[in-house]
């Protein structure tokens, strides 16, 4: 019963496409164990109509092979719309590209990381705020292992944002903008075997 309720109340905002182990929404569905409604924002689908249809209790913004640095008009509009939805009380979580999209909409800079691409299973350290944050309630200690692949990074964070996690490659591995809006640079939905296949596909 819980899964059925969750299916109806979570919305995936897809921001790009991939074909490894299924598309980005499939990664989240595999991780969470159920299918979710989605909009393909990168293909021109609008957030507003989906909100009316789904009335979500939470929104997940996916990763993408695209770059927030491009500042495409749909990216700018989507980021602003998502912050407004969060301000009205709906939780919004940005993942990788989504993390960068939300941060930039809130006033952050997104740059090509001078430390280079981060890819593979990486270690991330939780800050004191991160250890107390509900986003990391599952963590057993101050350091976690996660799957990551990105070349862009948020630097610096917008005023008022709280860093939840960081490592030597990326200072803002996770942040919270407000009670309802947060982002993670890594991919909590990815599993180690999929990351290995991704690395091999890029050789």
Report the catalytic residues.
96, 187, 189
Residue with tokens 């019963």: 1
State both tokens at 174.
């996770």
Here the tokens at position 171 are: 């200072």
Beta-bridged to residue 125, according to DSSP, are 143, 166
């Amino acid at each position: 019963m819980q899964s059925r309720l969750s299916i109806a109340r979570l919305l995936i905002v897809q921001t790009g496409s991939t074909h490894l182990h299924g598309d980005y929404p499939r990664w989240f569905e595999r991780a969470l164990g159920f299918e979710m409604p989605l909009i393909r924002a990168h293909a021109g689908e609008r957030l507003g109509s989906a909100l009316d249809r789904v009335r979500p209790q939470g929104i997940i913004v996916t990763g993408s092979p695209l770059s927030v640095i491009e500042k495409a008009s749909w990216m700018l509009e989507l980021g602003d719309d998502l912050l407004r939805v969060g301000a009205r009380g709906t939780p919004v979580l940005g993942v990788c590209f989504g993390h960068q999209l939300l941060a930039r909409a809130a006033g952050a800079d997104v740059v090509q990381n001078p430390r280079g691409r981060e890819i593979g299973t990486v270690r991330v350290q939780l800050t004191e705020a991160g250890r107390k944050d509900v986003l990391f309630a599952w963590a057993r200690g101050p350091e976690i292992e996660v799957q990551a692949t990105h070349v862009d990074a948020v630097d610096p964070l917008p005023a008022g944002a709280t860093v939840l996690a960081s490592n030597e490659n990326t200072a803002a591995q996770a942040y919270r903008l407000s009670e309802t809006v947060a982002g993670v640079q890594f991919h909590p939905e990815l599993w180690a075997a999929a990351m290995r296949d991704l690395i091999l596909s890029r050789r």
